[in-house]
Chains A and B, each alone.
Chain A
Amino acid sequence: MFKNIVPDDGAALQALVAFIITFAVFSMIMLRAWHMRREDSDHMSSLPLEDDSETHHTS
C-alpha cells in the first residue's frame, strides 16, 4: 500500500529546465532594460503624469 510514495523521478532535471527557461527570459529582458536610453525611460515613466492639464466641465 505504501509503495511508490517517494517515486524515482526527474526532479533534478525539471529544476534545471525551470531555471534555464526562467534565466533565458530574464536575461533577454534585462538586456532590453539595460540598453534602454535614459531619455526614453524618463519619457515612458512620466507618461501617466502628462494628462495633468485636463480641463473639466459639467455635462
Chain B
Amino acid sequence: MNTPNNTATTTIVYDDKTVRHFMIASIIFGLVGMLVGVIAAFQLNFWQMNGKFLEYITFGYFKSEGVSFLTFGRLRPLHTNAAIFAFVGNMMFAGVYYSTQRLCKCRTASDLLSKIHFWGWQLIIVAAAITLPAGLTRGKEYAELIWPINICIAVIWVVFAINFFWTLAKRREPNLYVAIWFYIATIITVAMLYIVNHLSLPTSLTHSYPIFAGVQDALVQWWYGHNAVAFFLTTPILGIMYYFMPKAAERPVYSYRLSIIHFWALVFIYIWAGPHHLLNTSLPHWLQMLGMYFSLMLWAPSWGGMLNGLLTLRGAWDKLRTDPVIKFFAAGVTFYGMATFEGPLLSIKSVNALSHYTDWTIGHVHAGTLGWNGFMAAGMFYWLAPKLWKNSKGEGGKSVLWSDSWANMHFWIGTVGILLYVASMWAAGIMEGLMLSATNEGGTTLKYPIFSNVTDAKAWLGIFRGIGGVLYLAGFVMLTINIFKTARMGKVVEASAEVPAEAPAGTDDARGFGLIFRNDPITYTFWVIIFVILWIFLPKGMDIGALIIALGISAQAIWVFTRKKDRWAELYDSLEKNWVPFTILVFIAAALGGAVQIIPTVIAQKGEHVEERIQKLYTPLELAGRDLYITEGCYNCHSQMIRMHKGDILRYGDYSRIGESIYNHPFQWGSKRTGPDLAREGGIRSDGWHYAHMVDPRSLSQGSIMPSYPWMLDKKTDFKALPGKIAALRKLGVPYEAMDQHEIEQGAKEQARKIAKGLVDSEVTLPDDMQDMDDEGEIAAALSERQIIAMIAYLQKLGAYDEVKKGDNKEAPAIMDPDKKHGAADE
C-alpha cells in the first residue's frame, strides 16, 4: 500500500497563489459579514438602526424613519450569506487548494480553472451584496439569491469540481487521505442540495418562484438548509481539521480508523436530519420522527470526530500555552463538540417545542459558526500566513507571525465574545420560549398575552449579544492586521517538493471502477437499508415481510463475512485508491436519506390530495403583496405556522394544516419569531391599523422593534408583472382559473382602489405627495397604486381557507404516506 521508495522522482511547484487569494478574500468578506451581523444584532434592540440613525449622525440633514436597504429583513440575509458563502466559503477553498495539492503530491490541475473559480466566486459575492439589500430575493433562508446568480454559482461550483477531481486524477499518492474524502463529500453533496433547492421558474430577470410549494418546499428547504450547515460549514472544515491539526501539532491524527467511521457515519446520517427544523409543524409526522431520531444518532459520529481532533493534540498540550494556532484549533474543535451536542438536544421534539422560533437556536448556530468555523479559520490563517509569505524573523531564521501576542489576544477576545453571545442567546431563548407558552393556572389564558412583553424582557440580553459580536469582530480585526503585517514583513514564495514521477500501480485502475457494483459489504449494506426503508412504507402486513428479508440479508452478510474477512478488507482498500467509485459511493450515501424523505412528500403532499382544509388562492393584488412581503424579508421575523401547542393555539389561533399553505411558492413557515406569527393575521385588524402599523409600528404597538416602512407609501406596485407571475404559478400547478392580462391587471387595480378608498374614508395620514390633493376619489386612485395597499391586501388574506369535504379530493397514494397506516390522519 505504501508509496514505493525506489521510483523516479520529479520536482513540482505548488500553486499557492490561489491559496493566498482565497485567504485574503475570506478575511475581507469575513470583516464585512461580521460587521453586518453586529449591525443586525443591534437592530433587534434599537429600531432606529434600520435607517433612522442616519438622521442622527447627519444632524438632521438626512430625514427618514427607515431606509429600505438597511432594514433587518434585508440585512440579515446579507449577513448569513456573507458569513457562510463569502467568509467560510473562501476559507474552505483556501484550505482545500493548499491541502489537496500536498496530499495528492501534485500541483492543482489547471491554473486557469483556479483563476475562474476565484474571480467567479468573488463576483458572485459582490452580486449578492448588491441584490440582497435591494430586496431581490427568493425568500428562502440561505437560498435567497436570485436565479441568475444561482446559475453562476452552479457553474463556478462545477469549475471547482472539475479542477478538484482532475487534480485527484493526476495525483501521485495512491491513497486518498480522509481530508480528501470530506472534500469529495462537500463538492458532490453541496451541488445536489443547491440545485434541487434552487429549482425555480423565472418570471423576470430578477424574480422567480421555486418549483416546490408549501410542505414540499419546507421539506426541501430544510433538507438544504440543514445540510448546508453539514456539507458547507462542517465537512470541508473537518477535512481541514484532519490536515491542518496534525501539521500544527506535528504528529499524526490520533486514530485513522476512527476517522473512517467518523466520515461514513456523518455523511450517511446527516442528510436524514433536515426535518428537525420543522418539528411540531404540519410536516407529516413520520418525517418529523425520522428527523429527530437521525439527529440523535448524529451525536456518535460528531463526537467521534471531535475526540479524534482533540486527541491528535496528545503529547502537544504544552503548545496550548504558547502556540496560538493550537489554541484556536483546540477551541474550534471544542465548540464543534458543543454545537453538535446541542444540535441533537434541540432536535428532541419536546425540547424543540420550547426552543424553536426563539433565540436559543440563534445561540446554537453562532456557537457553531463563530466557535467552530471562525476559530478553525483563524487557526488555519495563522498557520498558513508565515508559510505563504516567508520571513526569517523567528528563532533560527524560522518564518513566523508578525505577532503571537496579537493572535493570543484575538483568541481571548474572540472567546469572551462567543461566550457572551451564546450565553445571552441561551438565556433569552429559554425565557422567550417559556414566556410565550406560559398560561394561567387553569391553562385557559396566556400569562403574557402581549408579544412585546417578551421583546422587552429580553432587551438587555440582546445588548450583551451585540457586545459579544463587537468583541468577536474586534478580535477578527486584530487577525486582519496581524496577517497583513505578516505578509508585509515576508515575501511571497512558491513551494516546491520532490514527488514520485508517477502514481504507483493500483491507483485509479480499471478494476476499481467495477468495485462499486461488485463489492459484497456495500451490496449487503445497501439492500439491508432498502428493506428497512420499505418497512416504513409498505402497508401493514407487507412491512413485516420487508423486515424479515432485511434480517435475512443481515444474517447472510454475517455468514459471508466470517468466510471472506480478508477479501472484504481488500475491497475497501481498493476503493480508497479509486476516486471515481469512491465518489459514486459518497453520492449514494448522501442522496439516500433525502430521496426517502422528499420523493414520497412530492408525490403525496399536493393540493389535490389534502384533507380538511385548503388555502384560498391569492388574488393578483394579494400575490403582489406577498412578493413585497418576501422582498422586505418579513419571513426573517414572522412565522406563518401555528404549531400544535397550547401556547401557540391560544396566542395565534387554530393550528396550521398542511393544506393551508399548499400553494405557497415559496413556503413562509419561518424559523424565528422576533415578531408574532402571522398565519391567521387576516381579518383580525382593520386596513387602517395595518397602514399605520407599517408606517410607524410604535404608534400602535408600544415597544415594538419592527422597522418602519415609509417607502411603501411612495413606491408603486408593479401591476404589469402580475400576468407573468400568475402564468408561472399556473405552470407550477396552482389552480388559477384562466384569466387574460387585462382581467388580472384590472382585478388587481379594482381591489386596490377599494382598499385605498376605505383608508381615505378612515382618514389615515396620507403620503406627502398627496397632502395637497382635495378630491377623495383622486387620492384613493393615487394611493391604490402604492405598495402599502398590496401589502395590506396580502396580510388580510393570511389564514383564509376552504373546507375540504370527504370525497372532494383524490386520495394520496397510501404507500407514500406512512402516517396513514398508523391512523394519524384519520381523525
Contacts and interface: CB of A to CB of B under 8 A. Distances in A.
Same assembly? yes
Interface in B1-51: 1-2, 14
Given A14-B293, A25-B268, A56-B495, A4 B256 contact: no
Interface string B63-92: 000000000000000000000000000000
Interface in B784-822: 818-819, 821-822
Contacts of A7: 285, 819, 824-825, 827
Contact of A51 (B102, B491, B565, B823): B102
- Among B285, B293, B498, chain A packs the most CB atoms within 10 A around the CB of B293
Interface residues of A, number: 52
B260 A21 contact: no
B256 A45 contact: yes
Given A35-B568, A44-B177, A48-B179, A57 B494 contact: yes
B824 A17 contact: no
A58 B261 CA distance: 42
A43 B387 CA distance: 25
Interface string A12-29: 011101111110111011
B521 A15 contact: no
Contacts, number: 190
Nearest to B2: A43
Interface stretch (B246-254, B678-686, B746-754): B246-254
B492 interface: yes
Nearest to A30: B261
A49 B247 contact: yes
Nearest to A28: B525
Given A10-B819, A15-B289, A31-B561, A45 B253 contact: yes
Interface of chain B: mostly helix, strand, loop or mixed: helix
B246 A9 contact: no
Interface in A35-58: 35-37, 39-51, 53-58
B390 interface: yes
A24 B569 contact: no
> What 9 pairs across the A-B complex have the smallest Cβ distances?
A18-B293, A33-B257, A45-B252, A35-B569, A14-B289, A7-B824, A45-B256, A56-B493, A51-B102
Contacts of B173: 47
B290 A36 contact: no
A40 B3 CA distance: 11
A25 to B, nearest CB: 5
Given A25-B268, A51-B102, A35 B565 contact: yes
B654 A43 contact: no
Contacts of B536: 10, 13-14, 17
Interface string B560-578: 0100011011001100000
Contacts of A51: 102, 105, 497
Given A3-B827, A7-B285, A43-B2, 18 more contacts: A1-B655, A5-B644, A13-B536, A14-B289, A18-B294, A21-B529, A22-B265, A30-B261, A37-B569, A45-B255, A48-B103, A48-B179, A48-B252, A53-B497, A56-B493, A57-B494, A58-B492, A59-B494
A45 B655 CA distance: 53
Interface of A: 1-5, 7-11, 13-15, 17-22, 24-26, 28-37, 39-51, 53-59
A24 B530 CA distance: 11
Interface residues of B, number: 84
A16 to B, nearest CB: 8
Given A8-B823, A35-B565, A48-B102, A29 B264 contact: yes
Interface string B465-499: 00000000000000000000000000111111110
Given A8-B823, A24-B554, A44-B177, A1 B290 contact: no
Contacts of B497: 51, 53-55
